[in-house]
């Protein structure tokens, strides 16, 4: 996939701007560089789990981006996938990959190597700590969702430890959340309004919910840990500096990423290894359980870091709002890429960035854009490498990035789809100078880009629809030729062009002979067939942008520029030959014939189209008059 003489690992992790996916990816990058592997992170961005259905369905299609046969190892982190569909589709995709080592982190799967922590015991020390050290017997539990194996393992730990200490398990002391801080509101509301006695401690299945519980308790005037103790699980970076700092069980996410890469390397070297590898966790006691009082200077440090983080978020919000405004009015792709280039600096420490779109990205496709539509051609519309802007390059999608983007050292790219809901435009790839993953700025920044692309696509679609409507307005529905409105709009342009180029204008008028007779004897359907045959003959005879018009029932006009006598004669001969060929092959009880007249003029400022048409019409009527005199019609 990346042609620099190294093996390439593909890692599927969503929401890399969150803490623990970021830690895992940094571990992956660290070990990959040590072992000389490339890594491509196929990074989805799910918004509020399955609630934002259309956007998330678009994110699921990240699985269709890689050519799996080009990957030398695959790392999955399904605990980061909010969408069940993503996990199930990945499983289907990978079912045929028998030779490529597949590593699953934080989730046990039979078909892969697994890097795990033991959820059946990880909270044992914390729950026992509340019982043995603090003498608590009213301990509530905020669980994750019921479908999560991580969540259920931690819940069973809680049940088991309570049972071992002969504390009754009361289901009303258990609440099922979703691993997000927002689920703390319902949990605290439930626990405090329960008929059961107020809890002495709330054990949370992860740190985000633990911080949410602390917030909700403090809002209600309940002190942590003096009134209710709280604990979490994961040891995310912010819980150590949170106020109060959170007692938790540390999961070594960074080390798990490193172990996953090492497992792939061992598999390639045929080193015998266990299918399941368990990383060691550690219980960390802090302020929220009442055991450790953080020093004053650490609290000051936390407040300072919080202030800096808030300032960064404000700046990022302003930058993204400005970018959204700047991109809204843009009407061309060049304008968009220029604006992206000027705003790339908000992605700190980036080394390179590549915006790659399908060759036909403006098309409105809704389904799998690799297998169903065979999009082979991509265009790198914006490439920035070491702060230098590269020229646009076409390349086949299966090579992922053009050669100019690849260096002779281990490559680490984070790839995200560019799409609007279920419409796909292409993808963006970014790499960093240091071991850094997406900041919270990056994904909203990409969404702004996708929205801008969609605005252009919609604008072009509307313009196309408007053009078609305008075309219908000036087209004859029976023959497809222009009608009289088309004549009045376009013929004047031909006259002006001829005047500007100092060339002759040809005006040709034709009228079908005996249309009334055909209609009366054979019906109007046959008359329409005859009219269409004449129209087709005119279009075939016109080979140089001539303007072909059906001006009335059986009346036709042709206007052409840069004509001379020879070209006019050739046009008339071609027209007559087409009519003759049609009469020869058509199985009609009548013969189509026309009378016509023509004129060549050199227009000036005073030339009127109607005057020229009258000259041609008069010649046509003369021809028709002669035919009647000779009883040819």
Listed in sequence order, the residues at least 6 apart from 306 whose beta carbon sits closer than 8 Å to its beta carbon are: 241
Q: What is the pLDDT of residue 368?
A: 47
Q: 572: number of CA atoms within 13 Å, CB side?
A: 19
- Cα 148 to Cα 532: distance, rounded to the nearest angstrom: 68
Comparing C-alpha atoms, which of 556, 432, 562 is closest to residue 506? 562
| Whether residue 373 has pLDDT greater than 50 | no
User: What's the pLDDT tens digit per position in 343-354?
Assistant: 888 787 889 999
Strand partners, 174: 141
User: What's the pLDDT tens digit per position in 86-101?
Assistant: 788 888 888 877 789 9
Residue pair 398/456 in contact by the 8 Å Cβ criterion: no
| Whether residue 157 has pLDDT greater than 60 | yes
Q: What is the sign, positive or negative, of the torsion defined by CA atoms of 124, 125, 131, 132?
A: positive
User: What's the pLDDT tens digit per position in 17-59?
Assistant: 888 899 999 999 999 999 999 999 998 776 654 444 556 677 8
Assigned fold of 474-629:
Alpha-Beta Plaits (3.30.70)
Q: What is the pLDDT of residue 61?
A: 81
pTM of the model: 0.74
| Whether residue 164 has pLDDT greater than 50 | yes
Q: What is the pLDDT of residue 266?
A: 96
431 φ, ψ (degrees, to nearest 5): -130, 160
Comparing C-alpha atoms, which of 488, 482, 501, 499 is closest to residue 604? 499
Assigned fold of 124-250+285-299:
Rossmann fold (3.40.50)
Tokens of 350: 């980036």
Strand partners, 73: 9
**Residue 429 to residues 62, 206, 425, 478, Cα–Cα distance (Å):** 13, 31, 14, 51
Q: What is the pLDDT of residue 443?
A: 83
421 φ, ψ (degrees, to nearest 5): 55, -115
User: What's the pLDDT tens digit per position in 377-392?
Assistant: 899 999 999 889 999 9
Comparing C-alpha atoms, which of 181, 178, 251 is closest to residue 216? 181
What's the chain's average pLDDT?
88
Q: Where are the domains of the chain?
A: 8-109+329-460, 124-250+285-299, 474-629
Q: Is 187 exposed, middle or buried (0-12, 13-18, 19+ CB in 10 A)?
A: buried
Q: What is the pLDDT of residue 372?
A: 44
Locate tokens 């308790």: which residue?
217
605 φ, ψ (degrees, to nearest 5): -60, -25
Q: What is the sign, positive or negative, of the torsion defined by CA atoms of 179, 183, 184, 186?
A: negative
Strand partners, 506: 560, 600
Q: What is the pLDDT of residue 55?
A: 64
């Amino acid at each position: 996939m990346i042609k620099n003489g190294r093996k390439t690992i593909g890692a599927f992790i969503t929401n890399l701007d969150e803490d623990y996916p970021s830690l895992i990816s940094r571990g992956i990058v660290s070990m990959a560089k040590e072992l000389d592997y490339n890594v491509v992170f196929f990074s989805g961005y799910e918004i509020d789990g399955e609630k934002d259905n259309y956007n998330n369905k678009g994110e699921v299609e990240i699985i269709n981006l890689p050519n799996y046969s080009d990957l030398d190892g695959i790392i999955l982190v399904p605990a980061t996938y909010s969408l069940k569909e993503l996990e199930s589709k990945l499983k289907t995709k990978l079912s045929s990959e028998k030779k490529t080592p597949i590593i699953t982190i934080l989730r046990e799967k039979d078909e892969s190597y697994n890097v795990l922590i033991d959820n059946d015991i990880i909270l044992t020390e914390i729950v026992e700590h509340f019982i043995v050290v603090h003498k608590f017997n009213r301990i509530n539990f905020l669980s994750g969702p019921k479908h999560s194996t991580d969540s259920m393992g931690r819940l069973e730990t809680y049940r088991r430890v309570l049972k071992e200490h002969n504390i009754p398990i009361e289901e009303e002391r258990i609440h099922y959340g979703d691993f997000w801080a927002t689920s703390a509101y319902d949990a605290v509301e439930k626990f405090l309004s329960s008929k059961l006695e107020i809890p002495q401690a709330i054990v949370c299945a992860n740190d985000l919910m633990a911080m949410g519980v602390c917030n909700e308790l403090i809002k209600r005037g309940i002190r942590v840990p003096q009134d209710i103790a709280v604990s979490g699980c994961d040891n995310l970076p912010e819980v150590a500096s949170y106020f109060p700092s959170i007692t938790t069980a540390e999961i070594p996410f960074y080390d798990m990423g490193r172990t996953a890469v090492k497992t792939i390397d061992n598999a390639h070297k045929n080193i015998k290894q266990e299918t399941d590898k368990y990383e060691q966790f550690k219980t960390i006691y802090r302020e929220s359980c009442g055991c450790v009082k953080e020093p004053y200077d650490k609290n000051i440090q936390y407040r300072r870091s919080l202030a800096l983080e808030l300032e960064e978020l404000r700046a990022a919000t302003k930058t993204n709002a400005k970018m959204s405004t700047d991109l809204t009015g843009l009407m061309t792709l060049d304008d968009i890429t220029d604006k992206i280039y000027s705003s790339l600096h908000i992605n700190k420490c980036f080394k390179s960035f590549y915006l790659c779109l399908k060759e036909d990205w403006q098309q409105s496709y809704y389904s799998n854009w690799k297998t169903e539509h065979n999009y082979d051609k991509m265009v790198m519309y914006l490439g920035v490498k070491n702060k230098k802007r590269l020229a646009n390059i076409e390349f086949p999608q299966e090579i992922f990035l053009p050669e100019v983007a690849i260096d002779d050292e281990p490559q680490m790219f984070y790839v995200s789809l560019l799409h609007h809901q279920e419409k796909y435009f292409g993808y963006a790839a970014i790499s960093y100078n240091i071991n850094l993953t997406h900041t919270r700025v990056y994904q909203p920044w990409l969404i702004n880009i996708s929205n801008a692309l969609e605005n252009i696509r919609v604008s072009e679609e509307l313009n196309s629809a408007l053009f078609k409507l305008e075309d219908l307005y000036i087209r004859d529905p029976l023959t497809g030729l222009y009608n009289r409105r088309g004549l009045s709009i376009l013929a004047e342009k031909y006259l002006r062009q001829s005047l500007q180029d100092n060339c002759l204008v040809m005006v040709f008028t034709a009228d079908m002979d005996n249309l009334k007779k055909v209609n009366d004897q054979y019906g109007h359907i046959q008359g329409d067939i005859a009219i269409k045959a004449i129209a087709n003959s005119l279009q075939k005879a016109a080979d140089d942008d001539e303007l072909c018009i059906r001006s009335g029932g059986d009346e036709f006009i042709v206007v052409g520029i840069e004509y001379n006598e020879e070209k006019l004669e050739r046009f008339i001969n071609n027209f007559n030959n087409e009519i003759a060929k049609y009469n020869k092959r058509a199985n009609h009880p009548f013969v189509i014939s026309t009378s016509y007249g023509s004129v060549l003029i050199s227009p000036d400022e005073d030339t009127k189209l109607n005057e020229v048409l009258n000259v041609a019409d008069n010649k046509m009527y003369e021809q028709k008059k002669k035919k009647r005199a000779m009883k040819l019609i």
